[in-house]
Amino acid sequence: MNQLSLLAFEFPPINMLLRWQDVLPTVNKVVLIGFASALIGMGIFLAAARKDPKKAPKGARNLAEVIIDFIEKQIIMQTMGPSGLAWTPFLLSIFIFIYLSNVPGVIPIIQMPATARMGIPAFMALMVWVVYNATGIKHQGPLGYFKSVLFPPGVPKALYILVTPIELISTFIVRPFSLAVRLFANMLAGHLLLVIFALLSEALFQARDRILIPVGVLPFAVLLFLTGFEVLVAFLQAYIFTTLTAVYINMASHAEH
């Protein structure tokens, strides 16, 4: 008999992995995680704001200052320079919300990153698209902005027939699409890998053939490694999304770019 037939391994339908049964119409697992991420993020900074600024920072205030310092030094100063510090609240909000939406993928029972559904990444990417285009129009004027995007300076006029369509597609279609898909695909892939190895470990540990039980140690070890790796991925995806947002805003603000 095929030994796999002795395993109680059955991969559930994809839809079961990506949503809970609706609590209310249109309110499911992803919506709840999204609300929780927003509330936790706001709660951290509201708690930090209530602390006495004359005392040494600790607790929520210390955490808030560390995060702000990271956003300013590692993202804004690296991509936008001192002039970009005014964007700290916006970029900070993006980073916190995406990170808190990613982390539930490795939390027992919840085990679901909200960003593994396309709705949240698509909304975030669309918001960034609106912001960087509005910024470009504000700083350069409508005509100046679209001219700088579609007809980059320094390009021979004969090449505009090729460059202009490429810039049009790249700036107004590919950028928001790639932002959304990069975040969604990475978080969904990690979520599915964790589910696969968790189910495989459980099936081997509960196998009727006792010989197979020790084999379950291998997929369980991989599961532990992937869990730690997904913690890193949750941070990296929030960092990459926020950094690209800063880059796009900076590019839109300056015609020479």
Q: In a 3-state reduction of DSSP, which class is residue 13?
A: coil
234 band by pLDDT with thresholds 50, 70 and 90: very high
Interatomic CA distance for residues 23 and 44, integer angstroms: 27
What mean pLDDT value characterizes the chain? 86
Percent of the chain residues topping a pLDDT of 90: 54
Query: Which of 4-13, 45-54, 88-97, 154-163 has the highest mean predicted lDDT (pLDDT)?
Result: 88-97
- For residue 216, give the nearest of 201, 206, 227, 195 by alpha carbon: 201
69-121 pLDDT tens trace? 999 999 999 999 999 999 999 999 999 999 999 999 888 878 889 999 898 99
Q: Please, are residues 106 and 94 in contact by the beta-carbon 8 Å criterion?
A: no
* pLDDT at site 4: 46
Interatomic CA distance for residues 61 and 64, integer angstroms: 5
2-44 pLDDT tens trace? 444 445 556 666 666 666 667 777 788 888 899 999 999 999 9
How many other C-beta atoms are found inside a 10 Å radius of the C-beta of residue 138? 12
* pLDDT at site 17: 66
Written as six digits, the tokens of 17 are 């992995």
How large is the angle between the packed helices 88-102 and 119-150, nearest 10 degrees? 140
Name, in order, each residue with C-beta under 8 angstroms of 68's C-beta and a sequence gap of 6 or more: 88, 92
